[in-house]
Structures are given as C-alpha cells and as structure tokens.
Structure 1
Amino acid sequence: MSIQSIPIDKIDNYIENPRHDIGVSQEDTLRKLFHQVGFQNMFNLAQDIYVNGFVNASLITVVPKENSDRYIVYEGNRRIACAKLIEYPERFPFLTKNQIDRIKKMKKEYSSKMKINEINCLVTTEEEAFFIMKRLHSGEDKGKGVKAWDTKEKDNFLFRTTPNIKKNTAQIIHEKFLEFFKSDIQDKMAYTNVQRLFNNIEVKKALGIKSNEINSFTEDRMKIINKIIDDINDLIKEKGTSVSREFNARKKIEDVILPMIEKYQKGFMNEEPSGEENENQLKSRDNDIDVKGSNDKDKPSTLFRNLYVGETIESDIIDREIVQYIHEGIEYDKLDKNKVGRWKIVYKNGDICYLEILSLSDPSVTQLIKEFVIGEKYSLVEIFKLTDGKGGQSVRPFNIKITPERNRIISKYDVTFNKPGSVNFQFSIEDKITKRERDFEFNGVVRETQNVAAPDYSSKIVYPFMKLSENIEVDIITFKNELNDIYKAEKYNLIFVSSIRTFVELIVNDIVDQLGESKRKELAENYKIINREQFVKREFIDKIEDERERAGIETIYKEMKDSGRYTSLLNFLNLSTHGAQRLINKERLVSEFDVINFLYTYLCFVSTD
C-alpha cells in the first residue's frame, strides 16, 4: 500500500461499481454512472473539484491492473469521472452539447487550485480496496463504519463555524426547549419534523414567532408548541403513520396546526394570571393573544398579508393614517416594498398590519410521470409540473430534447413513444415573471402497451409468462429492457453472472415488499420468504383467475422444483462475488431464464393493483 501520483489517463473506472449496473466498456460505465447519479450532481462535484481541489481526507483508492501500467479506481469513481470530464469533455459522447458547454463555461469562469490531470491515489490490493469500500459505504456498521451527521448535527456545525449565520426555526425551538422545559425536544419529535411543521410561514405568523428574533420564542409560545407536538404525536400514533408522510404538503400542515394554535391561545387567554405577574406582563400577554386572532371587537384589529418583492401594495394597507413602520425590529420612515421580511405597520387607531414581503424563488420543475406506455401521447405539462417564482405556472419551456430520438415522436410540447426502454428529458425553462432561466434533466422508462394480442417474445429473454401489467419499479423495467436489448442484438456471447444476480435480487426484494414482509440482508433468506406456501401458492398461483393460465404456471413451477433448477439457480448466482467475476454464455443464460421469468411473472402479479 502506497500513495502515488497517477495521471488520470492511466486510471479506468470500475465497471462493477455498485452504484450502477455492470458496464461493458469504459464509455458504457461512465454513461451508467452519469445516468445513475444525474448530470447535475456530477456537474456540481466537478465544479467543486475544479475550484476547491480534492478532499485529501479520503484518498482515491486504485488497484494496479495485471500485466499493465494502468489502474482501476475502486473508491472514488465519481471523482475520477469528474476529473476526466474537466480535462477531456469531448470524450463523453453520451452527454449533450449543452452539458459539455456548461463544463467549458465553468472552466472559463473559475480558476483551479490544482492540476486535475494527475492525482494522488492510494495504491493497494483488491482485497484491501474492497475493505475500504465496505467501511465507507456500509453505514455505521455497529460503530465500525462512517457515522453520517444527522440534520441537527449538520446545523450545529454550521452555526458554530459560520460567523453571523441565522439559526433556523428547529434550532431555536430545540434551545428554548432546553431552557424552559429542561428536556431535549428530539425525545418527542425528530429535528427534521420540528422544522417541517413550525417553519411554515402561516404557522409562524399565527404563533407570533420569527426565526431572526429569538426573543419572540417566549415561554408561553413554547408551551403551545409543546402541546401541539403532543397532539401531533397522538394523531400519528392513532393513524399508524409518520409525520413526514402525514404532513407532506404545506396546506395539510396549516389545516391541522392553525386550529390547534387558536385553541391553545384561547386557553392561555382564559387562564388566571399568577400573583407574580405585574400589570405590564398582563398587558403584553393580552396584546399577544389579540395579534393572533381574538374575537373581542373592542380591541384593535390585526391584518396579515403576503406580498412579493416589487408588487403593488393594496390600498387598504397604505391608504390609512400610519404612525409607525417597523422591519425586523428597526423603525423606518416609510415602507420599502423591495425589502424582504416582515413589516409591522401600526395605524393611528391602534390597528396593526403584519406584511410579509417574500423574495421570488428560482423557477422549478417536478416530474409527475416517470413511466410511459408505447403509443400514448403525453404533453410536457402532464409529465412535469413547471413552477414560477411565485408558485404559479407562468413558465416557458424551450430547448427541449428527449432521447433516444429513435424511440419517440415529438411535436412541440407533445411526445409519443414508439419503443420500450429508458428515456432522458433535457430542457430549459424561463420564468416569465422574473425572466430567470434554468436547465433541467430527468429520466423515465417506456413500457410495452398492455392488453395486446399475442405478443412476440421471440426476440426477448425476459418477459412475464402471462398477460400482466408490468406496474413495477423503474429500475427493474430498465434492467429487463437492457437484458432484452443485449439478447436481441446478439453482440455479446458472455454476460457477467453478477449482473444476473443483481436483477434477480431486485425482483426478489420487490416481491418481499409487495407481500408486506420485512426484507432480510441475504438474497437466500428473501428467496425462502417468497417461496413459502402461503405466498407463492396462495398469493400468486391460486389467485390466477384464468384456469388455463393457472394450470400452466403451476406446471412450470412444479417442473422447476422437481428438477432442482428452482434452487440450483440461486446457488449458481450466489457463487458470483466481487472477488470472482464469473461469466455465463448465452446458451446457459437461456436455460436459466424460465426460472427468472417465473419470478418476474410472480412480481408483476403481486404488484397488480
């Protein structure tokens, strides 16, 4: 084991990188890596490497190739791929011109701290490289592996090392919980869920708290937050769900929590004051409650309004006699509609308006459809939700590219797919309000049309034995299509056994999920689960409605079990490990695939709605 400086031209990416399917060449391996990780993430890493250099705390680990002056990177495949992209972008033919241009533009706009064409690497044996990979990528592993920071620990680091940074809502609530109740809020609710619930703009307004005003988190308000957390926990327990799943939308958070706030504020208003409270404290409490919606008509009214930067202010806010403008605790002579944050406007009659001026965010895209059916027409707005800086849809898409081009027919904003397989979407959008532009990239999969008569399986090696909707995970569909493409093309006589094992493991694991069972770590254990009598017979074979299909599937299953092939396949696949890269020829592959196709049919059946 030694540290050596190696030219990146001498380093090959690892074709069996666990991040993606096995590659058949260096170009194919890089394509699979970029597809799996996403170009934007790879671009971000490339830019960070170019500007800041490599993180020397984690050296790239390589193993010398036998009888060669080249090396294979085992740990650091993304970093090596990014270094190659920076130095030789023209060697990535699967990337678009727009993507290559972004790399070239980045190199012009930034200066690099180091040479990218030669890299310090840890040179070691394959055995040691596998050990390093396992330690870095197997989680905590009972304390032996890398322990990642949770959200709160990341925030702690940020607040302790970055001068003048503002604390977020969850961090303040955590500290105030310790101060007022002498307990850790994480004993009651996860830190991320506290941020999810109480960083909502309307929730913060109703509570009267502001993240940049720590003193607004008073003991009374913290008591309300404490009670709400208890109520939410009871609700989650009763429904048998989780906070993140139950409260996955802004409106849902507001619909549930705002009535709770109102209820507990009224409760505080009806409480008898203790003898220790003086007159000013009582007056402060009364005013606090009134700001949050008291129905007492004798008291001044309070308005809450939102406004985006630069928008016209409504007349009922400014066409009145105003005595005070306060922004973030500082008094101003007039209202600046371009100054982001909460303004407190005090009127002569005692009324108050809290005006929240919001910044305009970048336009965004959310993918709504990831699976497509051959022959059906889709519009871009069906596939993607395009959102402008105000949360609306004033967005213009342009530079639309959908690949592979031979697999689709496109007309302006409509697309129809004519072949199965993976598809890639690349396009830009312009926010019509802010005129900001952004580039996006997404992936999807096209599956064959269902309910067609007599499908031709002569050119396929993976297919269901019955006419079923293949409503299964995209990665399995993609894997299936790639195997079929290899089989149809007749370009490869040999295939890595480990790739077949990966495919089988994906199928088996998904069957376990569909059956509602807990997955085990080992493939063999999960294989036993799905082949229990109550599952393979009662949840699959016995539930097939067509008698002829049921009889056919049962015959196939019995023959495979009686011949021992049903078990021998798994034994054969389990012999293939990282240390023993075995190959299988096409003839053997075909003979084994009736067992795999039975499993594939099993998965499609139990995945049917």
Structure 2
Amino acid sequence: MAKLSVSGKFIKEVSQNIPGTKFAIIELIKNSYEARSSSVRIYISPEKITIQDNGKGMNLEEIDTLLTVSDSNKIFGQEIGGVLISGEKGLGFFSVFKFGNKVKVDTVKDSKGYSFELDMEEISSQKSLYNLDIPVKKIDDTKIHSGTTITITEIYKETFDIFKQTLDKDDELMRLINVIDSPEIKVEIKKSWDETNTESKDITRLDEAKIASALFDSKLMKNKNGNKFFKLLRNGNEYKFEIDEKFNEFFDNENIKVNIDISVYNLKGLSKKHLPDIYYDSVNDRVVPLIYINKCLFDNYTLYNSEINSFKRNKQVFRQQVGKISLILTSPDLISFNSDRTKMTESVNSILFQEFLNYFSSNMQIFLRNILDKELEKKPKIYNRTCFINQTPDLKNDNYKIKYITHNEEKKDKVTTDSTGTWEIVYSNNDKVILDVLERPDPIIKQKISEFLVGNEYRFDDLFIFEDCESTRKIKPLEFTVTPEDCRSMNSKLKTITFNRPCSNIFFEISIEDKISSKKINGKYKGVSQFPISNRTSKVGIEDVMVHPLMQIDQNVKEDIYIFKNQLNDIYKDRKKYEYILISSLRTFVELVVNDIVEKLGEKQDKYLEKNFKIISASKNIKDRFINKIQNEREKAGVLEIYNQAFSQGRYDGTISYLNLTTHGAGRIISLKQIEIDFPIINLLYTYLCFLNL
C-alpha cells in the first residue's frame, strides 16, 4: 500500500490551478524526459488520453514521492544521468487531472512492474486525505519493458475541446512535438480524428531565401582577451562582433549559458508558411525563433523581438528570423518563473537576459544591413540608358575603363549611333551599361489654351508648347498665322499677340522645324476670344479680390476703368504694404465709375462727385434702369439685398463722404478697416456700370 499525502493543498485545487491544457501536457512530457525516456507516445481521443514512455520507470518508493503533492527529489538545474532538470515543484504528475477524472498508471523498473489508479471524485470527496489508501498492484508480466504508461479516462468535454483547438493548429502541434530540445527523445502525438503527418516541413526551397546565420555561444565564443562575441555567417564569410562589457560579466557566471542559432530570411515571393510550422506564430501571423530553458520549450513569443529596430529605420529590420535560443541554468534561483512558466519574474538576471536578447536582435540586424550594403556597393551594377540616332551617348562610369562592347550580341570595337539597336558595354569593374539607340521622335506642337480674353497680351509660349525630338526647346519657327486679322494685333519680334475684340472662330496655322533632327511639322488649331466674364455672386468672396461685379456679366467697361480695377485688385493683394495708396486710389476709381454711369444715363454731369452720386442713386435710375431690369431673378434678389442693406445701415450716402476724406478737407487718411464695410456699395456701382454697357 502507498499513502496519498498532501503538503498544504488539496489535490483538486492543484489540478484546477494548472494554467492550461498545453502546459499540462508539457509537464507530462518533461516528466518522461527527466525519466530518461527516448520515446514518448501520446494517443488522444475524446474518450481517452494515453501517455506512454520508455523511461526508467518507478519503484514503490518513487511512487510514494510521486503521490506527495509539492514533494520532489528534483532540483532545478541538476543534471541526472545526462538529463537537465527543469522542474522541481512536484506538481507535474497532477497535470493529468486537467484532462479527466480517472487516471491509471502502469510503471516498470528493473523488471518489476506496478499499477495504481486514482479517481478525482473519490479523492475530492474525502475530508481527510492523510490516511487515504491508494492500492498499488504488482504487474506479474516480467516481459514488460521499463517505462511508464499513464491512461486518463472520463475526459472533461469542455477541457478536451480547448485542447483539441490547440492540437489542430499545425504550429502549436509542432511545438508540442519538439517541446524538448534534445535528439535523445522523440515525441509522437496521435489524434484519433486526424491522421495528418506531423513531421517537419522540408525547407530546401528556402535555401536561396536565407540571408545569413547569427550565432552566439556564451562559453565558446570569446577572444584571446576574454571578450565574448557573436558571429554572422553570410556567403561563406564570417563576421565577428564583440558584445558589451556588462553582458560579458553576466555570462561569466559559470551556471548560466546561452546559445543562439538563428537563420535570417528574405521571403520575397514566398510565404511565412513555407518555413517549418514550429516557428510560425498563427495568432500574430509571424515567424519567431524558439526559446528553450534547460532544454524545455519556453512558451513565450515576446521575449525575443525581431522588430526591435522598427522605430529607427525599416531598412534595419529583418522580420523573418527562425531558429533556437537556449538558456541553460545549472543552479536554482538564478532566474524564477511564473506558475505556467511563460514569463520570468523580475530579477537582476532576468532583466539582464532580456536586455541581452534586445541587444543581440538590434545589433545583429544593424550589422547585417551594413554587410549587405557593402556587398551591394561591390556588386557589379547595370545601368539602362537610351540615346537617339546620331546622338552622343552617355557612356561614363566613374573612371573605369571599358572591357568589351557588344552590339546585338556581336563584339564591337566602339559604340556607334547611326542606326537603332542595343549595345552592351562592360567595364573593368564588371559594371554594365545597356544602351538602346532609338529613332528620334517627331517635334511637338501642343495647344495649351484655346479661350482668350480681349485686351490681354499673350506670348506665343503661353498659347502653345513647342518641343524638339529630345523634349527640349531647340525649335525654329517657320510660320505663325492667326486669322481673322482684324480681331488681333501681333508683335512678331516679341512673339506676342493681343485680341482686340470678341471672335468665336480664331484660326492658327503653325509650322516649326526641329533644329536637332531637321524635321518639320505643321498644325492647325482653333480658339475663341471674349470679354472678361465676372464670377458668380456665390464665388465673389474669394481672397485678394476687392473690386468685382456682383453678378455674372460682361465687364465691357472702358479700358481705363477695367485696367484700373485690375490694378486696384493687384494692390489689394499686398494691402498691408500699400494700404494708403489703395484707399486714395479707390476714390478716383469710384469717381470714374460714377461719371461714366451719369454719361450712360444721359444725365447732365456735375463737377462734384456727391451730386453725380445722387443723380445715379435716384430710384428712377438705379432701380428702374438697372436692378428691376435684371432678368435672372436670383441675381436680381442678390443685388437688391445689398442695395437695401446699404440704405438700412445708413452707409449708402456716407460712402462718398468717406472716400472724399482721402483727398479733400482732411488732415488724415482713413484706414482700410474703416472703408472695407463700403466694398459692397463700390461693387454695386461697378456692376451698375457694367449693366448699362450691355
């Protein structure tokens, strides 16, 4: 008989506190490994889970130890029979109750076999466990080989469903199969619902995608002066890089050893899934190196950060890294872990180890980028260039001499460009120029604008684009004819043209000669000239425009008023600099507009601006002959609203008085801010004049 004992906790509490199904199965595999098994076979079905190993088995004394919670003869970091111990809490066996209610254990050691069974419902129903007898039976069949078989039945459905989700992920399954980093043990997992082969993928296709290998061994890689280094292997070359002094001191501890073997890939044209499943993190869709502590997988994918340089320069980030990082601790309490051994608890050693992994990842990638950049500098370059027939080609390549020349794959003594074809020029540094000799294209005439404003002066280059066969401006004009002649005036010497009246059909006949190729081309083009058209009322508030019509209307006023208006707007654009010039000029502009309105109305003109303003503001004139005759009802409503607002605010009659202050009877000039409120009235007058000129 054996006694089931507890050391401070109930068995059920222990099993319930097992962090997860993956952790539970790892604990059982570790137990088999630490029993020096060379083979662990796990058979999984919804009804039964079996873990079978060929380890050293257990005798009665070891069975007693096994059934004592939190009691263990193992010391973390201890090496027993060549096996490094990574567990010490005596909880590993009780992981079985994470999966099911009943457990049967068959074990053979030194040709002596024993068997016992546990029932969680029976155990948890006992008030006292100290005197609970667990019957241990002898196995009489002495032919049974040594080892232990654990059979779990009465499987918990909910727990099994979670475990099944883990097993159905290829990456998770492969990590369970390779949970022990040792060639001396083989783990097989058979699922009753799936016969998929769990062997690793063949990665021969990835040979060309491999960039480099990064290696570090804290015990072996050190210089004559004792400083440790890591290595990069690339294209048969070996590059060594010394590590920081503080990490040298960390690795001087004889009970700490780190070994890193990482391959860096560039998977362009391939997928992450071309890499072995064991390195694929399906949750975050990335590949990661694996971390082993005392040869047991450390189930943490954040400890090593391959993207640590992403905040610096993306060029120094190599995301596709796979391989192994092995941490060996041969003394307890050097580094401690949380309950499910997925995180290190904070300590001086754990912080240093994390800092070293960050240091290694960052510097390895920076040094690798430097190596690749230097290789690229030395790599022969290929330059693709073009030239036209009879054009001198650009064959410069620093000071390197030409090694040989081929034309259409035939060797030549020199490059000639009297016909089309492809030339290949190879230089002494093996750089190559691929030169394509092309037929010269025709020169180009392209019309830029086809609508012209009466009174504006245009350069020929404003109207058309002229380009030679090399897209430059080496063009000789042969003919530039514009008809009808009475609608325009031209200055052939200055190459300018001004349209003096509206015309709906303007015809251009142009002939040019390419000075490079001597090719000539002719072209015929059309255009139209018209008076300046105002903006719509809804758009007149654009910045830097002061004087404008309040409606869409032909601005066919006298030329001096139109030019004056444009110049006022130009000054207004730089109003901070020319404020007083603008204000004093505005009074003259208004007087010219008012006088022209009086003239158009057929009224007798007075010598005073205020009296002329009253004439044009009479209701019979401004309303009957202007506002009421606007045909577009929306425009009429807008103009009338401005007119009514000016009267209701008392600004209409005062506008002229304010403007008079700028030139008559005052010792100062009013500010632009004071007169800006009158801009709508000034624009109303300008629109009034434009309307009368229709």
TM-score (norm 2): 0.25
Give the structure with the larger strand fraction. Answer: 2
Q: Determine which structure has more spread, i.e. the larger CA radius of gyration.
A: 2
TM-score (norm 1): 0.28
